[in-house]
C-alpha cells in the first residue's frame, strides 16, 4: 500500500510505503491529511491507514529537471493519440512539424500518436495531412518530484487528486 507524502506547504514530495508513513507519524514528523478507510491491526488494537500525510517541516529540494523522453511525452499526453483521441495501444511519438521541414525535437513539437495516425500523417504537417491536434503540445508547467508516469498513476487515485496540481495549465 502506498501513501502520498506532502511537503509542509502541501506540495507533493513523494510516494512512500505504508510502513514508512506510519514511522513518520509515530515519531511526530508528519500529520495525517486523509485516511483511506482501511484499518491496520496492531498488538494494541487497530489504527486507520493513512492515504495522504504531510510533513510538519519544510523540505527544500532543488526542482528536478524534466527530461525530454518518449516515456515523458506519452505520460504528458496521458497515453492518448493527439490526433484521433485513441487511448493506449501501440503509441509512438510524432513530430508535429516534421524534422525535414525544420521541426525541432522539443516539448512544443512532439506529441503522442497512434501508429494509424502516424502512418496517415507521414512527413506532413497536420494541416497538409488534413488532421487536427486535440491539444497543442507544450512543456509541463508543474514538474513533479516523482516520474511523470508515476504521477499519472497517482492522478487515478481519487483521494490523491486534490493534492496533485495539473502538469499542464
The answer, yes or no, to whether residue 127 has pLDDT greater than 90, is yes
* Residue 40 and residue 25 share a domain: yes
Confidence of residue 146 (pLDDT cuts 50, 70, 90): confident
Note whether 78 and 106 are same-domain residues: yes
User: How far lies 15's CA from each of 20, 46, 57, 69, in Å?
Assistant: 10, 23, 17, 22
C-alpha cell at 98: 516534421
- How many domains, the chain? 2
Phi, psi for 93 (deg, rounded to 5): -110, 130
**pLDDT surpasses 80 at 147:** no
Mean pLDDT for 120-135 is 94
Q: Are residues 90 and 117 in the same domain?
A: yes
CA Rg value for the chain: 20
DSSP 3-state of 133: coil
53 and 28 both lie in a single domain: yes
pLDDT confidence bin for 20, thresholds 50/70/90? very high
59 and 82 inside one domain: no
Distances in Å between the Cα of 38 and the Cα atoms of 19, 48, 62 are: 14, 6, 35
Q: Residue 54: what pLDDT?
A: 97
* pLDDT at res. 156: 87
Average pLDDT, the chain: 91
* Full residue range of the structural domain in which residue 95 is found: 70-121
Examine residue 97 and state whether it is found in any structural domain, yes or no. Answer: yes
Residue 55, in any domain of the structure: yes
Residue 64 has pLDDT above 80, yes or no: no
Tell me what the mean pLDDT of segment 106-128 comes to: 95
Q: Rounded CA gap, 6 and 56, in Å?
A: 10
User: How high is the pLDDT of residue 43?
Assistant: 87
Res. 169 pLDDT band, cuts 50 70 90: low
Q: Look at residue 9 and tell me if it is in a domain.
A: yes
Q: How confident is the model at residue 168 (pLDDT cuts 50, 70, 90)?
A: low
Amino acid at each position: 500500500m502506498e501513501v502520498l507524502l506532502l511537503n509542509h506547504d502541501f506540495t507533493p514530495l513523494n510516494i512512500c510505503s505504508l510502513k514508512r508513513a506510519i514511522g513518520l507519524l509515530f515519531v511526530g514528523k508528519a500529520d495525517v491529511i486523509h485516511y483511506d478507510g482501511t484499518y491496520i491491526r496492531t498488538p494494541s488494537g487497530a489504527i486507520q491507514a493513512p492515504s495522504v500525510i504531510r510533513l510538519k517541516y519544510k523540505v527544500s529540494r532543488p526542482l528536478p529537471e524534466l527530461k525530454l523522453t518518449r516515456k515523458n511525452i506519452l505520460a504528458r499526453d496521458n497515453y492518448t493519440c493527439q490526433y484521433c483521441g485513441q487511448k493506449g495501444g501501440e503509441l509512438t511519438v510524432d513530430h508535429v512539424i516534421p524534422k525535414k521541414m525544420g521541426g525541432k525535437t522539443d516539448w512544443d513539437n512532439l506529441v503522442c500518436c497512434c501508429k494509424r495516425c502516424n502512418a496517415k500523417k507521414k512527413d506532413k504537417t497536420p494541416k497538409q495531412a488534413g488532421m487536427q491536434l486535440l491539444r497543442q503540445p507544450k512543456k509541463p508547467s508543474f514538474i513533479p518530484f516523482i516520474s511523470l508516469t508515476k504521477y499519472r498513476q497517482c492522478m487515478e487515485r481519487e483521494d490523491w487528486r486534490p493534492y496533485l496540481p495539473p502538469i499542464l495549465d
